[in-house]
Chain A
């Protein structure tokens, strides 16, 4: 039996096969593909912004202020006569940067804390979880808002405050998964050969809790963009003249009746970016963990 199966088995590894299957499942999911394409498109736009942008996003031209979409100015101009298309294109850099920064803060602090909390349990877990409870008691956006009011406005502080408000989500998620993984026999077996706790966490627990982290990362990026836009809309996020979508939406709302395009196009940009991340996240969840499919 062993001889035959050893010969029949090609040198493929489990992970290869498993990831191939997951990729195939993801590809069959149209919504996820659409979401993924959206994000790919936004990423390309952000990377190539200076090349494809029709002019300077910050150059005012008061003569042509609040012009509607036309052949010359595809998405029209805002109250200072700046090209909305150029501003949206350059804004994608800011939004994606915020999303990456926020998720990095959440991952870097939330994942190790969650691992430690779930793996060690006991008093450590108790303390971490009560702190998490305190953070979760505030709605996420409110917490970010409060932090911004303490830290001040600007790109960096937007990332920090939204990032912090997302940490408890990662802590909860990773803790719950680690609680299950630490009871696995292979963790006990690793202990029984004398593996250090740090190594067990890194090599045995973390890789086995990766799937929900990946899913949460995608969903978290959508959420981060939405939160950042919310802060920008309130004037508490990224400051003008930087072309941030939320801030554009905020300044455009004064002209919503006679120049609706000023608020509409940045709104659509936010909408599709968040939609893209959410669809991809849902698709990833279905593809990576088929058990969760309803």
Chain B
């Protein structure tokens, strides 16, 4: 399949990516764990979708599954990941390789370690370009320099010749963005792209990503635990808990009226600067307990041991994802 063939295949349908009943299991020495448990999710063309949840809820595994970056075994998959009309889970290793970096790219959390320390930054970007565009080494290099300029790295021509250790975390993350977007992918998976950065740099990086998203017509799946970031950047939000989607809503709806007790807990745990004295805001809320071990999931709703509004049914039966209309979905017995 040619590079353009991959891009053309998705140009027809509206949803650029659709996860259908995605389950990811890992075979471990202690037994089989289900890290992602039946996720249904759609990403529309040109949209920014926020994927939120605590550590270990399956956000990153979901993203890595899309690009099939999880070694299998120990990972095994069920369900479908539709990119256009292709099921990414069924593609041959060679075809999925053509999609990586070309139609779907990924940015990682740790900018300090996601660039090869013994290769110049320019060469790393140029290799990604050459891989998919089949251009000459010279042209690949020029494209790398252009991309570095695009992500606002000063004196890009010189910086391209430097090794990653000469760059700050923010610059390296810019370089990573340059690499990820160098082939104009249709979908960008950003796995906590700003978590390791200073707050001021965070804002710059997010601005940059959103600007380039407009420029390249790229859809973004933004994985984060930072609800503030989601509020500012995403149009739609999906909240994950223990491998399941517990709530999905437009970003305004979600912040105005969270339906799931877990989402309510998440929003209650954000400190609001300066509001304490003025309006007599309640104490900072916390969600008691911890995320259950994947090896020892509670029966019924996985959130019920920590839920403030737990009912008798919750420990017996797992709720289904309810469609509340207007793009709102929630997995909770309260809304039955």
Q: A14-B163, A14-B166 are in contact. Are A192 and B101 (CB under 8 A)?
A: yes
Tell whether B118 is near chain A: CB-to-CB under 8 Å: yes
Q: With A13-B162, A192-B105 known to touch, is A207 a contact of B119 (CB < 8 Å)?
A: yes
Q: Is the CB of A192 within 8 A of B155?
A: no
* Size of interface on A: residues with Cβ below 8 Å to B: 29
Number of interchain pairs (Cβ within 8 Å): 96
Partner of B97, one of A13, A185, A196: A196
Q: Is B108 part of the binding interface, using a Cβ–Cβ cutoff of 8 Å?
A: yes
Closest to A205 in B: B116
Q: Is the CB of A203 within 8 A of B99?
A: no
Interface residue A189 (Cβ < 8 Å from any Cβ of B): yes
Q: Is the CB of B158 within 8 A of A194?
A: no
Does residue B176 face the partner (Cβ distance < 8 Å to A)?
yes
Whether A193 touches B131, Cβ cut-off 8 Å, given contacts A2-B153, A6-B159, is yes
In the complex, per-residue mask of A180-221: 1 if CB is within 8 Å of any chain B CB, else 0: 000011101111111110010001100110000000000000
Cα-based distance from A192 to B101 in the complex (angstroms): 6
**Assuming the A-B contacts A3-B154, A195-B131, are A13 and B171 also in contact, with contact meaning beta carbons closer than 8 angstroms in the complex?**
no
Instruction: Name the distance in Å between A167's Cβ and chain B's nearest Cβ.
Output: 25
| Closest CB in chain B relative to A16 CB, distance in Å | 9
Q: Does A71 contact B (CB under 8 A)?
A: no
Closest residue of chain B to A10 (Cβ to Cβ) is B158
The residues of A that contact B162 with a CB separation of less than 8 Å are: 9, 13-14
Q: Which residue of A lies closest to B116 (CB)?
A: A186
The answer for the CA separation of A191 and B116 in the assembled complex, in Å, is: 12
Please state if B115 and A189 are interface contacts (CB–CB under 8 Å).
Answer: yes
Q: How far is the CA of A191 from the CA of B97 in the complex (A)?
A: 8
Cβ B113 vs Cβ A193 within 8 A: no
- B180 near A: Cβ within 8 Å? yes
Known: A189-B176, A203-B127, A207-B119. A2 touches B154 (CB 8 A): yes
Cα distance A2–B175 in the bound complex, in angstroms: 13
**12 more CB-based (< 8 A) A-B contacts, given A2-B168, A189-B179, A204-B119:** A2-B171, A6-B158, A11-B161, A14-B117, A14-B162, A15-B163, A188-B69, A195-B101, A195-B131, A203-B127, A204-B116, A207-B116
Residue positions of B touching A, CB distance < 8 A: 67, 69, 71, 73, 97-102, 105-106, 108, 110, 113-120, 124, 127-128, 131-132, 153-155, 158-159, 161-166, 168, 170-171, 176, 179-180
The 9 closest A-B pairs by CB, nearest first: A193-B101, A14-B163, A194-B100, A194-B101, A193-B128, A185-B114, A192-B106, A207-B118, A185-B113
